[in-house]
A and B are shown apart, each in its own frame.
Chain A
């Protein structure tokens, strides 16, 4: 899988949650276009095309970022802040997907420019359903910003 073809960036430090999410997406045949990163730093590397992801281009942004808030190194809100502060990454849709029910997280996320805020349901069926809906909505229903590279004539 090429990093350039990534449609969903899943930022999730819990391997269990990641596996459950991937399982749910898999069932809908969406899993092959998913990139999983395990902390905030790696998430920033990915979206800002640096370090291990230096080969990526800003011209191929993911269709959606599913962002957990409680992350090692750099936490989710910091990732969100950095993305929404930079014009190159500001237009990437970010869905906060968290188990936090804290009002301040919700408010802070929206203030930083989160496009959606989803609480991970405790019930696994609901969780699976939610992930499925997310994948379908952002990859199929939502119309993304036209790609800059395709709009520009190739040299």
Chain B
């Protein structure tokens, strides 16, 4: 059965009585049956023939035994006849000798017995003309003998002993008696030879019958063995197939996938539990229906098209489509359609394995939607960024112009009309100019900060010590008249945007210089230490501390922790520093101690680390 493998799965359901089209199985069992039937039929015929032969042999044997009995009866009767005749002889001889009537009576009785015996033999040998002929000769001689005895008896009675004894002396009686004996013996011999011939023939027949019966038994046995072997093999295979089918059927039944088969017209032939679960139709409802009950309106042609294509031998690739459940709900399924072939290899239908992919599809769609959403938000964000850019542009342009005008005209006023103003007037004029200048600085700082957000980092290995030196050189102007004790450690190289890092050091150092103004001497320390395997830079001063309560406000835009009269500033510097550090992937924080000053710490993130080899290479190439 294994050689009909391709249609196994189909038969699985067929044998479970779920479908009507059981071509494969029918064919196989009929082929098997014919062979077994032939063999069993032959065996039965042979046995019947053997029975007939046996019966015939038995009949023959019984016939033969009848013949034996018959022969014995003939021989017995012949011997009786002979005895009777001898009794006739002796009794009339006795009568002659004694003349006693008792001998004569005995003589009569013997004659009557002899006659009876002759009649018996006659009856027994009716079918044998030879014996009949011999018997009639015997009858004739016996009659002669009796006639002679009658004559002798009559002589004895009438003429006495002497006359009778003389008759006896002629030996006529003896001659007749011998003739009777001889005839009887001949008949006996004849009968015996007949018996022998019959026995021989019967034995020959019986021998043949025995041979035929033996051969017949052997043949019948052979056919029976052959048939039973086929039946046994068939049963074994059936059992094995049943097991295989059972296993396959269990797989088909227990899988979550819907497995169904249909004929070439699209009529459902089998329907597993998965199909019941997936489509909502029970097996009873589905089998016999067209598969179109599963197809949403409008796509029926596609389904039949697949069947047609498959019937023409085309291999159907796994595909995804939409199906309608019994309750009308549409589901997405992934389909694998494969042909079902009969034992002759003809495509007679198709099996379909369907998997519910509604959920994955939905998730896919959800992801797609989310992505679309995200792109939408990205676009929004980009728009917002553009708007922000436009805003900063207009701030840069529109806000600066009036500032310039205020300071410009107040300047002209001061220069050309100054003498006409008193001291207070000139003071107010000066306040206007200073305010305008300050606002200009604010606008510039803000623009710098916003530009930072848009700028891409340009990382290169940079010598941070050199950066600090450059910054200090630039700040020289601010240091006039100040006494500051610098403690500057050797700083490592870092893979960073040098221009931005210069800004960081500039802002932090300027900050330190500004807030140490009241100190004599001011101490500013710039260094680096390793905390938890991370390189941490710091700028420490002994200047005016700040309240740690407000440490989170320190880096906010326009956030100032000191009064403007005490320490000038726009409140943008630390916000800028923070933004640069964050862009590098680092962190920044500050600590303050009452009357001891403040320390700003920052890290530059893992991407900023410069390995020794890279650093050497950079040094050789003169990058840093």
Could you list which residues of chain A lie within 8 angstroms of chain B, going by C-beta atoms? 14, 16-17, 20, 23, 70, 98-102, 120-125, 127-128
Is A17 touching B404 in the complex (CB atoms < 8 A)?
A: yes
B441 to chain A, nearest CB (A): 8
Judge if B393 is at the interface, Cβ distance under 8 Å.
yes
Chain B residues near A98 (CB-CB < 8 A): 397
Complex interface: chain A residues within 8 A of B404 (CB): 16-17, 20, 99, 120-124, 127
Q: Is B400 in contact with A120, judged by CB distance below 8 angstroms? A: yes
Please state if B412 and A122 are interface contacts (CB–CB under 8 Å).
no
Q: What are 26 inter-chain pairs, A to B, with CB distance below 8 A?
A: A14-B401, A14-B405, A16-B401, A16-B402, A16-B405, A17-B404, A17-B405, A20-B412, A99-B397, A99-B401, A99-B404, A100-B393, A101-B396, A101-B447, A120-B401, A120-B404, A122-B404, A122-B407, A122-B440, A122-B444, A123-B404, A123-B407, A123-B437, A124-B404, A124-B409, A124-B411
- CB atoms of A122 and B393 under 8 A apart: no
On chain B, the residues within 8 Å of A123 by CB distance are 404, 407, 437, 440
A99-B396, A102-B396 in contact; A124/B401 too (CB < 8 A)?
no
Contact in complex: B408, A127 (CB < 8 Å) = yes
Does B356 count as interface, using CB distance less than 8 angstroms?
A: no
Produce 1/0 per residue, B333-362, CB < 8 A to A: 000000000000000000000000000000
> Which B residues, 393 to 435, have Cβ-Cβ distances below 8 Å to chain A?
393, 396-397, 400-405, 407-412, 433
Nearest-Cβ distance from residue B454 to partner chain A, whole angstroms: 10
Chain B interface size band reads: 20 to 34
A123 CB to nearest B CB, Å:
6
Interface centre among B401, B410, B444 (most CB of A within 10 A): B401
Most buried by B among A20, A23, A101, A121: A101
Q: Which B-chain residue is minimally distant from A101 (CB atoms)?
A: B396
Binding site for A on B (CB under 8 A): 393, 396-397, 400-405, 407-412, 433, 436-437, 440, 443-444, 447
Q: How many Å lie between the Cα of A23 and that of B412 in the bound state?
A: 9
List of B residues within 8 angstroms of A23 by Cβ: 412
Are B408 and A100 interface neighbours, CB within 8 A? Answer: no
Name which of B396, B397, B410, B433 has the most chain A CB atoms within 10 A of its CB: B397
Residue on A with the closest CB to B441?
A122
A124–B408 touching, CB < 8 Å:
yes
Question: How far does the alpha carbon of A29 sit from the alpha carbon of B411 in the complex, in Å?
Answer: 19
Other CB < 8 Å A-B pairs besides A99-B396, A124-B411, 5 of them?
A17-B401, A99-B404, A122-B400, A122-B440, A122-B444
In the complex, what's the smallest C-beta–C-beta distance from A31 to chain B, in angstroms?
14
Q: Nearest chain A CB to B17's CB is how many angstroms away?
A: 81
Whether the Cβ atoms of A100 and B412 lie closer than 8 Å is: no
Q: Bound state CA distance, A100 and B394, in angstroms?
A: 9
Residues of A with C-beta under 8 A to B405? 14, 16-17, 20
Q: Which residues of A contact B436 (CB under 8 A)?
A: 122
Q: Are A20 and B396 in contact (CB under 8 A)?
A: no
